[in-house]
Amino acid sequence: MKLKSDKEIQLIRQAGLLLWETHQVAAEMVEAGVTTHDINQAVEEFIQFNKAEPLFKGVPGTVPFPAATCISVNEEIVHGIPSKRQLKNGDIVSLDIGIRLNGWCADAAVTYPVGEIDAEKQKLLQITEECLRKAIELLGENSRWKFIGKKIQKVAEHAGFSVVRELVGHGIGRSLWEKPQVPNYFSEQVSDFRIKPGLVIAIEPMINVGTKEIETLSDHWTIVTRDRKPSAHFEHTIAMTKSGPMVLTCGPNGEGWAMGNGKKG
């Protein structure tokens, strides 16, 4: 685990502000008839125009990830590859974007409704966002992550949903993925860590309507629910400071999804 200085946290905040602006570019395009390819193209052009680096493009795998944005629709949990697929009324779409600015990384995700969505999907979005909001709030009240992971799981399961186990949040800084791993559930088998000033993590609950079981599609990247029921994904990069949690990927005035009692950046 690499604890960050106050100066380093402010540098990550600068990346987080640009990432917030990038997310606004994508959000304005979310409507029926728009292709996921078009959203990704606008995101990539905005990142490059601002002299930053899209973190996801080229990530190694069986095939390198081909896009700047992971765009996952309905039963797709994460790592959806942008394509000519058009969004439709009633869809939910998760936009996950990471950037590096001046050597420092930021990562954030949000799930949007496309037009009118049914009550089940609406509840899913509300509960997943609440999982993230609660996690941010509890960072300032707990000494170890396991108590927060347990609360995320409780919020999701109390609503009748399930928590993805194989995919977790992560530390972040000069690299996109740093220690520690940040699970959205509690188990004696997963590693725990202490919450202390200088900790910077990406918290990203991924919540499913049905089973927690997942599958990877033949494109080697897109991860879906095994029962093909909807999934939602909300994420912020957050620093723990001496005065409490600071959300680094919210807007300049503290606006954004899942914003509650966390200190504004």
Q: Write the burial class of residue 51 (CB in 10 Å: 0-12 exposed, 13-18 middle, 19+ buried).
A: exposed
| Lookup: tokens for 77 | 């949990």
pLDDT in tens, the chain (265 residues): 899 999 999 999 999 999 999 999 999 999 999 999 999 999 999 999 999 999 999 999 999 999 999 999 999 999 999 999 999 999 999 999 999 999 999 999 999 999 999 999 999 999 999 999 999 999 999 899 999 999 999 999 999 999 999 999 999 999 999 999 999 999 988 889 999 999 999 999 999 999 999 999 999 999 999 999 999 999 999 999 999 999 999 999 999 999 974 444 4
Please report the pLDDT score of residue 101 as a whole number: 98
Token pair 């570019």 in the structure block, residue: 25
In whole angstroms, give the CA distance from residue 22 to residue 25.
5
Please report the pLDDT score of residue 32 as a whole number: 98
pTM comes to: 0.96
The full set of domains in the chain, from first to last, is: 6-247 (3.90.230.10)
C-beta atoms surrounding 102 within 10 Å: 12
3-state secondary structure 28-68: CCCCCCCEHHHHHHHHHHHHHHCCCEECCCCCCCCCCCCCC
